[in-house]
Chains A and B, each alone.
Chain A
């Protein structure tokens, strides 16, 4: 991005009267209903994007609460039944002298999901007003959030693998706790939330009024910025 830092000159496709297909990226004149190449319905701005972002975000957040309250993993051995929540397990691991593993769990299961919630919320709010953080940084943040979201499922994979492998009847058995379901739902909904975010809105804020973009612009960079 050679234009980073020089946002003043950027013209959005919308300002140039263009609309890009989000599937095959072909650019069409604004007002075109469907993409002539792939047939997708064209829309210059997804007007319900923010609503969906917030809806999914809320569900994801709701799911994240029980995911941390209920036990993630139930370890049943001959003598004892141990149920650990995510944070509790990590703390226990830390006490048992495995700070590395505890750190990984904390990062993967707590830090990243929480950061994701914050990031998505920040993006969703920041598109509505002028932000001190540059649009490029926000775009980067969005891409990182979308990329990293799927890795949160690693917790669920671990639980799934463990509980399918360790099934020794009465000797020892590991079963997924209730939290694993909520955690999976939480991850899924945050991913949906991130996907629902129309990142083109990041660039609309610079014009001050995304709902009423002005028509005066240059044609030079319209293709580039049409996202």
Chain B
């Protein structure tokens, strides 16, 4: 840097004071302006501080506990301190400016805490978030107020009107559950608040709120009653427990109904009575003078004791009113004599007459006038036999003299009367005694004495007295007969007879069986004998068979008998044939023929043939011999068969084995017979076979 530029005179720029101020200063100015504006706005929007006095702090925290209106925060507690005398806690609440105007005399404040009741849990959110102060006030701005007394509980009535505010009062000496729901058909339609006892102590009063949407249910005719607790009853249908809801069971409650029409809408502050039961409530509707009563007068000619003030007035058993006053009257002008008459003033409830439209005394009077013209009369009658109390009954008298309901201008209408129907208990007893008195007891006694006399005379008769003796004799005779040994032995003899009969029968059975066995054995022996007598014995055999068959025939089994008969017949037929009978003759003839043949041969001269023939003949003779030798076996077999048959027949009684054995026996017999038949046939067809052996 050798060539250093010459030092320059730096000129100070001359600027105006304003132009020398940097534009940047706008920023802090703006910031300050904004800050001031915000501060001013905050300040100006800050609402007033109100002080609420509470009995205790209950968890109110400075700068945290909110003041809420309809559950929206409208302020916050700025300070919590004690009142000067330490008697209460004062919470200073900074409220929003826009609601501050409404916080006037109408405002009330209370602390919302978590609460667990039978109806549920409320304020649960405050468990976590801490308590808050709830405030309520009407929707009309008023003169702002800065000091309030907090409530201990949430008020039932909220300013601004969220329902019908009525007052509940117990009946004298009645009870009521306060702080409980009012239900209708099981729906909670309102609440009863805290109750207080009247200064006289005879009833309790509580505020009650009917929610806005249900206010139409309440009219001047509405009656409230308790539904607390439950009823338990045991009846024909079994045990029954009844309660309207768990909530009312635990905490009690009220319900209501409007039993009759014609009520008028009620205003806030109307007082209702709370009855113990629905029945009472229902009855009360007709006792309470909520409608002006119709007063009427009845004059009874007789003057009977027992009618008192408040005695019921009934029509067809339904109470429609009460006796208001009872007076004795003497009015010569009106009644014509100076007797004391009973003048009764009745108070009739028009509502109980069941009138449809207008329930007023006037319509009731018209109704009564109409009915009186139709025969309605008043009479005295017993209210209770025991007490002797009387009541007034309005009854329909069908054949009554026509009368009208007199309605004097300045007096009460007079209901005509009819004969009283009083059952005087004392009079009744007297009547009973009189009737007993009047009974013809003496006559009765006279008759009884006569009767007894006659009876005595009858009894005193000798014949009659002997009768028992005779009867006794007869009886003793009978007893001796009955007691005699013969009579007593009758059963024993009978028994012995039966035993003997039994043994006899058994014997008979045995004898028969034995004889039959013997017969069978004999027959079998005979048969065997017959068979062994050789071929000539066949007819005898046949006879035996016949005998067997006959015996079999004698047996009750016809099938068997028939079969045996047939068999026997067949056998007989076979054996009786000519061929069989001529068998020996044929044999002789054959021998003769042989002889003849031999003679021819001898004469013809064929010696070899002769020899052969002789050989043949010898063989034939052998065959015949063997044949004849077979015959005894056959006969023996037949004998066996017959034996078997006999056994079978003998064992007939042994049950169903019989049929089987008999059948097999028959089969054997028929086989034997077949064999004989075939033998006979063969012999018949070819008698020479016997000779030739084939």
Contacts and interface: CB of A to CB of B under 8 A. Distances in A.
Contacts of A59: 27-28, 31
Contacts of A211: 12
A16 B4 contact: yes
A79 B7 contact: no
B35 interface: yes
Interface string A45-82: 00110011001101100110000000000000011000
A52 B5 contact: no
Given A55-B28, A79-B128, A213 B10 contact: yes
Size bracket, chain A contacts: 20 to 34
B20 interface: yes
B24 A55 contact: yes
A16 B7 CA distance: 6
B10 A55 contact: no
A216 B582 CA distance: 207
Contact of A55 (B5, B25, B128): B25
Contacts of B128: 78-79
A55 B8 contact: no
Nearest to A223: B1
Interface residues of B, number: 22
B17 to A, nearest CB: 12
B8 A30 contact: yes
B8 A31 contact: yes
A29, A48, A189, A196, most chain B CB atoms within 10 A: A48
A206 interface: no
B7 A217 contact: yes
What DSSP secondary structure best describes chain B's contact surface?
loop
A52 B28 contact: no
A219 interface: yes
A50 to B, nearest CB: 9
Interface of A is mostly: loop
Nearest to A78: B128
A63 B31 contact: yes
Nearest to B29: A55
Interface in B26-56: 27-28, 31-32, 35
Nearest to A46: B22
A59 B6 CA distance: 44
A11 to B, nearest CB: 10
Nearest to A66: B35
Nearest to A49: B22
B31 A30 contact: no
Nearest to A48: B22
B21 interface: yes
A189 B30 CA distance: 13
18 contacts: A16-B4, A17-B5, A17-B7, A17-B8, A29-B5, A31-B10, A48-B20, A48-B21, A51-B21, A51-B22, A55-B25, A56-B24, A56-B28, A62-B31, A79-B128, A79-B129, A189-B27, A217-B7
Interface of B: 1, 4-10, 12-13, 20-22, 24-25, 27-28, 31-32, 35, 128-129
Given A56-B28, A219-B1, 19 more contacts: A14-B10, A16-B4, A17-B5, A17-B8, A18-B5, A47-B13, A48-B20, A48-B21, A48-B24, A51-B24, A51-B25, A52-B22, A58-B31, A62-B31, A62-B32, A216-B7, A219-B4, A222-B1, A222-B4
